[in-house]
Structure formats: structure tokens, C-alpha cells
Structure 1
Amino acid sequence: MYPPLTYAVAAFLGLVAVLALVALKQPSLEPFVRRAMRAAHAATAAVVALDAIKLMQGHEVDNMVTHVGYMVASVGLPVILLSQRGEFDEEGNAVLDDEGNPVDSPPPHLAVVAICATAMLVLVVRLQLTL
């Protein structure tokens, strides 16, 4: 793959994790951290896409299942942890506002953003090491 790109993305993910923890005490950083996490997810997706292209060109890895698992997990983890979903009541019905629109859940806590960025950092590095 491209080790400098992979490690640059990993360093950016580490920076996002640290900034998310700092934003817990400095709320003015929260919008910046959330945008940075979106950018980090896009950068991770780019690394995974380049890796997938390399695999399709015939590159052999020692354990394909593990490698593909790292690829899927590194892109899928933020989708699972950081997605906002609609609110539901006890009966499973969507909660609606005064205008009849579904109410979104609050954004994920910044600690969840930090944990997600840290986990993605580990997954991206492991992806590079399994080549």
C-alpha cells in the first residue's frame, strides 16, 4: 500500500482523538472536532479504497480474511458509532416534532468520538501491517 499515507491518516486520527478529549473541557472546539472526524473518516475510506485496488491488482496478503476484516471495520466503525438516528418511543414509534417531522437523536458524545478515532487509528495501522 502507501505507508506514508497510511501513517499520516493514523496520525490525523490520533489528533482527532486528542482534540475530542480536549473539547470535553472546551466546548467551543466541538464543531471543529466533528468536522475533523468526518474528514478522518473520508481519509480512512481513501486508504481502504487504495488498498482494495491493490488487492484487485493481484497483491497477495498472508491472511486475506483478517485483512478484509480490518478494511471493513475501519470504514464501518464510525458509521455504526457516530450515526444519528431518529428517536423512538417505548412502543417503537418514531417521535415527531410539532410539524410532524422525525426528531433526531442528539449527536454522539465527544468521548465516543475519541474512542472511535482511537479504534480507527489501530485498525488503519493493523491494515498496513497485514500487507
Structure 2
Amino acid sequence: MKNFIIYSELGQILQFGSCPDSMLAMQTSTGRKVLQCEANPLTQWVSDGVLVDRPVFHVSTSTEKIVADGTSEVVIAGLPAGTDVRVLGPVSSSITADGSDIVMTFLSPGDYTIRAVLFPFQDYEVIIHAT
């Protein structure tokens, strides 16, 4: 049996599995490639045909606790332009970062999960507690 991953032309790991040696070549399809290995798609990707670690965002978050008064701010700095930023909580939203600091305020109390996604970076996640 061979362990393998299937990855996109961008190097994103799409699936993984195992198969008999004789079936490894049959795992590819248009726009998808196969690599014999084991991998973690959350932390690894394929660059130039080689399995490597995904880079991490160099992000800073000013605070993880905030008053839900509409004026207190959370500042997230360091996200590159094109990063998809999703806010999940009592009120949800999403934006695409433009490379500048992201400033957020909250009116509704609760826990907000902020997730930043931009391949090949590892996803960044922080929970903001708004009271």
C-alpha cells in the first residue's frame, strides 16, 4: 500500500489516502497531481513538487477582550492584502484585507471568532470576548 496526497496546481492539498502500489498512478486527474507521502493539509502544502510547511501569518492583535460599546477597538495588524477575514459570532461579517490594519468595534456582547485565510498561509484564528 502507498500513502498519497492529491494536490491542486497551486499546491493545496485536496485529499489524502492510501492505495495498492499498482493504483497510485490512477489517482491523478486534470488539474490535480499526486505525491506519494503522508501530510497534514492544515500545516503543509506542495511547492515545486515538494511537501513543505505552510508559512504562518505574522499577525498581532491588540486585545482579546473588549467592551461591546461600538467605540472600543480591536486592531489586527500584519495581514497581507487579499486575506479573507471572517468574523463569526453574535453578528457575523467578512472582508478582504487590503494590507492595512483592520480595526473592529462591537455593539453586541459575545464571543467572536476571527479567522484569516490566504493560501498558502496557515489559517490564523483568534477569539475576541466582547462584554
- TM-score between the two structures when normalised by the length of structure 1: 0.25
Q: Which has the higher contact order (CA 8 A, sep 6+)?
A: 1
Structure showing the higher strand proportion among its residues = 2
Larger Rg: 2
Structure showing the higher helix proportion among its residues = 1
- TM-score between the two structures when normalised by the length of structure 2: 0.25
